[in-house]
Structures are given as structure tokens and as C-alpha cells.
Amino acid sequence: MSSIIPMVSVELKNYLAILLGSEVSKKYLQKVVTPMEEYSLHVYRDVSRVSDIIDNLELKGFDAHQHEIFDNLIITAPKGPFELTHLEGSKEIIVDNRAAEMIYQGANVFVPGVKRANRVKMGDVVNILNQRNILVARGEAAMNHNQMLRKGQGIAAKNILSPYIVPSLELLDDETLPIYFQSVPAYLASINLDPKPEDKILDCCAAPGNKTFHLNELTKDQAQIIAVDRSKRRIEKIKSKIRKYRTSNITAYVGNIIELSKEWNIKFDKILVDPPCSSLGLRPRLVHNIDVKTIKSMATYQKAILFACDKLLKDNGTIVYSTCTVTKEENEEIIHHAVENMNYRVIEQNFVFSKTDISIANFTFPVQRFIPGIDNTLGYFIAKLQKSKS
């Protein structure tokens, strides 16, 4: 299939070229439109299931193997790319840009993602496009267009050909398996916090809770862990996992950590800060609508979250700060702010896997930066901070 370049503004393209350099920026733009080369499944608590899960993935046609260092991680890869061309004379289903990215990876077309499906009838073989007219799949309509508009849920069309097929939990067909997808960088963020059973730990932007439960696993269900997120729906999902895994030492709260920090009279040993960000590291991304003004606004909010967490952290306590973006404003500049204005020092991480070795704004602290086109995963940033005594 022909190479797809993400639809980005001239402003963002110029920003990336200055930030990363022209060659790395070009590699990033080529790879951010594709799924990650490596997906990782975290097998929670029960490493004895790893071999069976690998066998199941291979039976479904996916390459899979156990991680060479972390025995509870399974590394697998998507299938593809497959040749996809526009089917001349066929009707079209237009889907929103985020739904399109899932369909591009093999997902079916679900009713909430459909924006337009003029004259489509059940059984029609259709071209599926995003809102920017990028072809993302070929499908077979499971409803006619009137049903798609009337119904609030269900499969609108079955995906019969897409450029990629990524592994999914549904493919494993076993809801009892103690597994969830967690990228290697996200796994590293948790493990580099170095949590101990006796610690009091805060995960301040916790949903969907994968890092929360990883922290719990690392501390053998003994640390006192508080998970906070602004979304009631997402916190309910964490509470559901608490019940599923029969965990008694994790408490989940709905709330904004900036406001909660003003109310709580509690100090934590360690805090994981993974704040909302511009998400320029997520893959695949076919359309980027982020501008530099939004990036700077995000950075202001991230500093406020870090300030709130500082009030909740003990002297000599540790923060791991991570994002799934590649900007300097949301990454290096946040860490520089913590060092210059908040009495922190950047410390070495125990596990460093990033292949990225480029200097951003003459920043010399020991951090990890993952960039699509250099690393086989999503774009990600990790820094570890220690608070000095007041």
C-alpha cells in the first residue's frame, strides 16, 4: 500500500523539525501513522500463564515471545502491512478520526464512530474513510444507513481488510486471563519508581489503572496505594479491577489532584505523575490537530499538577514523571522547572531502554525519551525526581 503521512499543520510540522531535527522528524512522521512495532501484554501476578498465552497468540497468527528481562511481559507484533486500495464504485462509510485509527488496525466499525453512510445497505462491501478522506479499511455493512443513524450501539460494518491487524484481548477469547496491554515505556515508568511494600504511593492521574496495578504487583499487595482520576467512568473501571483482582490495599478516588491536594492532610513516599498531555506519541495517529498554543497550555496544567503533588510528597520522596508525548514544553521544560523552582534533583533510573539519543534544548539530565522511528514503541518520556529536604 502507498505510504501514509499524517495530516498535520505546517505549524506542527515546523515545530517537530526544529525540536527533533529534520531527519528524526521525518522518521517520526513516517512511523507515527503505523501501529507500534512491538506490543506488550502484562501478565498480572501469574507468570505461570505466560507460555499458554504465547501459544494462543501464535495460534492466532501473531509472533510472540517472553520479554528477555521482565518475565511477566509478552512481546508481540501486529500483522501487516496489507495492500489496501480504494474499491471503485463502492459506497462509503465515513467515521470519526479516532474510530478510524482503530479500524485501520483491524477493529470493526461501531455505530458511535459513524459520521456518514449515505445509501449503504446491509451486505454492501464499502470503503471506510476517516473525516480527512483517508482510506482506512474495506468493510461489509452489518446495517443499512438508517439503522446506523437510529441505533446508539452495535457493529455497523465488519472489517474485511485493513492495513494492519493488532493483537487484542478479544482475540485471546478468555476473560479470566489476568492480562492487560501495557507498553514497555509505561511499564518502565512504574518499575523505575522503585516501589516498596512499606510505601505510601499516589498515582495521581491513574486511569485506566494499568500502572496502579503494576505498582501493586511490584509491592506484593502490601503498599498503601491511592489512585486518583478526574473521570468517574474511568475510576469505576479501576474499582472493577480492584474487585476482579481481589485487592484490598488500593483506594480509588474521583477528583482533580490539584483540588484534592488543598484538602488532604497526607504525605506520600512516592508519587507517579502521568498527566494529561498532547499525546503526540500515540500510534497510529493519522490526523494531528494539536497546535503550539495547546502544547503550551498543557504544559501550564502539568506544572500545576506537579506543584500539587509536591505538597503531598515527603522530603526525600520520589516522583516519576511521564507523558506519552514528544514535546519539550511538556517534558524537559517541566523537569527543568522542578529543578530550578521546586527543590528537586533528577536521579538515574534503574531500567533504561530508550534508543533515542538526541539533545533537546541542551538538556543534560538523565531521562528517557522514546520516539517513533527510533524506538519500536510509542513516543514517551520518563524522568525520576527526588525531593530535597525543606
Q: What value does the mean pLDDT take over residues 358-383?
A: 92
Q: Find the helix or strand (DSSP H, E) in which 42 lies.
A: strand 39-43
Q: What is the pLDDT of residue 151?
A: 81
204: annotated active-site residue: no
Residue 233 CB neighbour total at 10 angstroms? 9
Over its C-alpha atoms, the chain yields an Rg (Å, rounded) of 22
Which of 51, 95, 94 is CA-nearest to residue 72? 51
Tell whether the torsion through CA atoms of 250, 50, 321 and 232 is positive or negative.
Answer: negative
Interhelix angle 292-312/332-341, rounded to 10 degrees, is 40
Per-residue pLDDT at 5 exceeds 70:
no
pLDDT-derived band at 3, boundaries 50, 70, 90:
low
**Alpha-helix runs per DSSP H in the chain:** 10-20, 22-31, 50-59, 97-103, 145-150, 169-172, 184-192, 210-218, 232-244, 257-263, 292-312, 332-341
What are 291-336's pLDDT values in tens digits? 999 999 999 999 999 999 999 999 999 999 999 999 999 999 999 9
pTM of the entire structure? 0.94
Q: Write down the mean pLDDT value for the chain.
A: 93
Q: What is the pLDDT of residues 177-230, one digit of tens each?
A: 889 999 999 999 999 999 999 999 999 999 889 999 999 999 999 999 999 999
Res 67 pLDDT > 90:
yes
Is 249:199 a contact under the CB 8 Å cutoff? no
pLDDT tens by residue, 47-60: 999 999 999 999 99
170 band by pLDDT with thresholds 50, 70 and 90? confident
Domains of the chain: 92-161 (2.30.130.10), 183-387 (3.40.50.150)
